[in-house]
Amino acid sequence: MSEIFVFGHQNPDTDAIGAAISFAYLQKELGKNTVPVALGTPSEETQYALDYFNVPAPRVIEEAGSQTKQVMLVDHNEFQQSVADIKDLSILAVVDHHRIANFETADPLYYRAEPVGCTSTIIFKMFKESNVVIPTQIAGMMVSAIISDTLLFKSPTCTEEDIQAANELAAIAEIDLNGYGLDMLKAGTNLSDKSAEVLLDLDAKSFPLGDKNVRIAQINTVDFNDILSRQDELEATMNAEITANGYEMFILIITNILDSDSELLVLGNSLDKVEKAFNISLENNRSFLKGVVSRKKQIVPQLTEAFN
């Protein structure tokens, strides 16, 4: 029986990695020959979780077709966020908590999407539904994913289901939820040694908005100035990315995980649509967004409406 690859989106965050590991484990327990892989190396936040729970990082792939024809997607569905040869593969299952866009298959598949804060919350429910025991290490990666995606329950995407799942998983993983969670989030804000190119690619996704392609990156920090002091360097790199990839614009969301606010840095065309979407005026290509932390819920839907 050939292997079935399970993976999250490009530039994987903790949920993309954790969900791939946990869903692959669940499917293997249910009789599938599943293997977790990744479409990029783990971030420092994710590596903190992997090291803490002594879980090997999934191997990184750039394409899948030379190794398998069957895949399962977690934490994404949009093809431009997936593996390069996704259109040539047979998608057996999708588990996700994002919008559904640019997705189609030739064959029937298992598709589960729920409006919760984290894909790992859905997978937690699937473990319970299937009566499969969650090992400590797997529980650790799943609770880490929920902490990451909900910013320790501060994100507006967070639901009661996420909180309940996190508490149950924390008990299995034998951690103090708040203490571990804050340490993990802070581990992801150590950015001083990273180049502008790396910073802008840590957590970046491309979104088709109207007939345009928009790149939206997000960086977590505990001090805006740690990032904004490098604005000239970041802008030069963003402009280079716009030119090289034909983006309509490049938006960087800088999120303070302690205060739960964000600063936007925006370059490119159609800047009036950004101002319209958030009822702001950009000054020096920037604007402050109070209480905004979620790209999925507080950025992309508003931009989609503005572009449409």
Residues 241 and 183 in one domain: no
- Cβ-based neighbours of 114, under 8 Å, separated by 6 or more: 97, 121, 122
Give the end of a domain, one of 139, 163, 189: 189
- The CATH number of whichever domain residue 97 belongs to comes to 3.90.1640.10
Task: Strands of 54-175 (E only): list them.
Answer: 59-60, 70-74, 90-96, 110-113
The percent of residues above 90 in pLDDT, for the chain, comes to 93
Q: What percent of the chain has pLDDT over 70?
A: 100
163-179 mean pLDDT? 98
Q: Please check whether residue 20 is in contact with residue 38, taking contact to mean a CB–CB distance below 8 angstroms.
A: yes
* Span 28-56, average pLDDT: 97
Same domain, 172 and 206: no
Instruction: Give tens-digit pLDDT for 69-127.
Output: 999 999 999 999 999 999 999 999 999 999 999 899 999 999 999 999 999 999 999 99
Predicted local confidence at residue 191, as pLDDT: 84
- pLDDT computed for residue 281 by the predictor: 95
Residue in the block written with tokens 């249910």: 30
Last-in-domain residue among 189, 204, 225: 189
3-state secondary structure of 55: coil
Q: Are strands 212-221 and 204-209 parallel, antiparallel or unpaired?
A: antiparallel
* pLDDT score for 308: 87
Residue with tokens 């739960």: 260
Task: Give the whole-angstrom CA distance, residue 74 versus residue 201.
Answer: 20
Number of neighbouring beta carbons within 10 Å of residue 276: 15
Which residues does 108 contact at the CB level (< 8 Å), separation at least 6?
A: none
Same domain, 222 and 298: yes
Number of domains in the chain: 2
Residue 59 has pLDDT above 70, yes or no: yes
Same domain, 179 and 218: no
- The per-residue pLDDT for 193 is 83
Reading the block at residue 117, the tokens are: 């804060």
Q: Which residues are part of a known binding site? A: 9, 13, 15, 75, 97, 149
Average pLDDT, the chain: 95
Mean pLDDT, to the nearest integer, of 170-175?
98
Q: Fill in the DSSP letter of residue 283.
A: B
* Residue in the structure block whose two tokens are 């065309």: 269
**Residue in 249, 278, 273, 242 with CA at minimum distance from that of residue 263:** 278
Residue where a domain stops, chosen among 173, 189, 205: 189
Q: What are phi and psi of 66, to 5 degrees?
A: -80, -10
CA atoms of 202 and 215, how far apart (whole Å): 13
Q: Are 42 and 61 part of one and the same domain? A: yes
Same domain membership, residue 101 and residue 123:
yes
Asked if the model's pLDDT at residue 148 lies above 70, the reply is yes
- Report the CATH number that the domain containing residue 229 is assigned in CATH: 3.10.310.20
Mean pLDDT of 276-296: 95
Q: Could you tell me the pLDDT band of residue 192, with boundaries at 50, 70 and 90?
A: confident
pTM of the model: 0.85
41 and 168 share one domain: yes
Annotated binding-site members for Mn(2+): 9, 13, 15, 75, 97, 149
pLDDT grade for 1, boundaries at 50, 70 and 90 = low
Question: pLDDT: is 188 or 216 the higher one?
Answer: 216
Strands (E), 184-285: 204-209, 212-221, 249-256, 261-268
Q: What is the pLDDT of residue 3?
A: 97
- Domain range enclosing 65: 4-189
Q: How far apart are CA 120 and CA 18, in angstroms?
A: 7
Averaged over 206-211, what is the pLDDT?
A: 91
In this structure, of 128-132, 143-147, 295-299, the range with the lowest mean pLDDT score is 295-299
